[in-house]
Amino acid sequence: TFRKKTSNNVDLKDVFISIKTTKSFHQSRLTWILKTWFVLAKEQTYFFTDGDDPDFQSKTGGHLVNTNCSSSHNRKALCCKMSVEFDRFLESHKKWFCHFDDDNYVNVPRLVKLLQMYNPQEDWYLGKPSIRAPLEILNRDNTQQKIAFWFATGGAGFCISKALALKMMPIASGGKFMSVCEKIRLPDDVTMGYIIEHVLRKKLTVVEHFHSHLETMKFMKSSSFADQITFSYSKFGSEMNILSLEGFDPKIDPTRFISLHCHLFPSFDFCPP
Ligand code: UDP
Ligand code: MN
């Protein structure tokens, strides 16, 4: 019988999904992920944190990785986690590395559909910048030259193909990612852009369907949700930056992830008939 070949032969099983988190956010943030999109990608998704947590170790099906990185929100700690995420991806031998924050909702089938458009044996860096022009810095080497490069915002999510990750290995594997962070003194997502665009001279491919909470969530139309790849939420002052959609009471669904999940997958057990 004839079977349709998947584009680029990519399937969910070929994707390594890593989520950066911290122990004090397990309860407040992982809860929404575990109830919703994680259910669609249990085997592929790993949480990179900074402390042991038997409760969440079991809730994630053993997919909580204690990086032993510091639990503070400084560049070193965040780069340390990204470094461990990258090394774990390499060990997984999967075709795609996708990183997200713990305040991201990932539309899993839509992510797979995106990745099917690109060959993982070619160099691909997919994501969305949050600035309108490439970042300009003074290169911290003996030249002190001005350099400019794009980077994908970590809080919107980004994906790197296996071929590109292999080229990054000499620069970024085995904990070396951290040294690059320290050298250029910039955050983990910026360091990714520096390594890929400046050092390896590969271009970021902008994917508009990734969304961080630097965007105003309520401006996104519910009719377009199914076509988006990531969503997020945040609090500024007393106001929440959240998606605007019908669904569960904000008291039980403050992030709107439960309502979003039912919008996308109405047959889920907790969704209204
Ligand atoms: N994070 C972390 N350690 C910290 C604080 C935050 O690993 O001490 C992670 C957090 O879990 C999230 C990401 O870093 O995945 C971004 O944190 P947050 O959303 O709080 O801040 P943002 O940079 O988005 O404003
Ligand atoms: Mn955030």
Is it the case that residue 3 has pLDDT exceeding 70?
no
Out of 48, 67, 100, 101, mutate this one to test ligand 1's pocket (max ligand atoms within 8 Å of CB): namely 101
Q: Which residues surround ligand 2, an ion (CB under 5 A)?
A: 103, 155
Report the nearest-CA residue for atom 15 of ligand 1. 101
Say if ligand 1 is within 6 A of residue 129 CB.
no
The pLDDT of residue 114 is 98
3-state secondary structure of 269: coil
Write out pLDDT tens, residues 44-75: 999 999 999 999 999 999 999 999 999 988 98
Say if ligand 1 is within 6 A of residue 155 CB.
yes
Rounded to 10 degrees, the C-alpha dihedral 177/182/186/187 comes to: 50
**Mean of the pLDDT values across residues 2-6?**
57
Write out pLDDT tens, residues 69-119: 999 889 899 999 999 999 999 999 999 999 999 999 999 999 999 999 999
Say if ligand 1 is within 6 A of residue 216 CB.
no
Say if ligand 1 is within 6 A of residue 21 CB.
yes
1 — pLDDT class (breaks 50, 70, 90): low
- pTM for the whole thing? 0.96
Q: Across the chain, what does the average pLDDT equal?
A: 95
Report the nearest-CA residue for atom 2 of ligand 1. 22
Report the nearest-CA residue for atom 8 of ligand 1. 73
Within 8 A by CB and 6+ apart from 89, the residues are: 16, 18, 97, 165
DSSP 183-225: HHT--HHHHHHIIIIIIS--PEEE-TT---TTS-GGGS-GGGG
* More confident call, 9 vs 31: 31
**Mean of the pLDDT values across residues 17-46?**
98
Write out pLDDT tens, residues 162-182: 999 999 999 999 999 999 999
The pLDDT of residue 141 is 76
The CA 268 to ligand 2 mean position distance, Å, reads: 27
102: nearest Cα among 164, 39, 37, 165: 37
Separation of first and last alpha carbons in the chain = 37
The pLDDT of residue 5 is 54
Active site members: 189
Q: In whole angstroms, what is the distance from residue 48 CA to residue 248 CA?
A: 29
Out of 17, 25, 53, 98, mutate this one to test ligand 1's pocket (max ligand atoms within 8 Å of CB): namely 25
Write out pLDDT tens, residues 196-250: 999 999 999 999 999 999 999 999 999 999 999 999 999 988 889 999 999 999 9
3-state secondary structure of 157: coil
The pLDDT of residue 142 is 78
The pLDDT of residue 249 is 98
Alpha helices (H) along the chain = 31-35, 54-59, 75-92, 108-115, 162-172, 176-184, 188-193, 257-264
Q: In whole angstroms, what is the distance from residue 107 CA to residue 132 CA?
A: 25
Rounded to 10 degrees, the C-alpha dihedral 88/91/93/99 comes to: 10
Write out pLDDT tens, residues 114-150: 999 999 999 999 999 999 999 999 987 778 899 999 9
Is it the case that residue 7 has pLDDT exceeding 70?
no
The CA 9 to ligand 2 mean position distance, Å, reads: 33
Is it the case that residue 4 has pLDDT exceeding 60?
no
Q: In whole angstroms, what is the distance from residue 152 CA to residue 130 CA?
A: 7
Say if ligand 1 is within 6 A of residue 71 CB.
yes
Say if ligand 1 is within 6 A of residue 72 CB.
yes
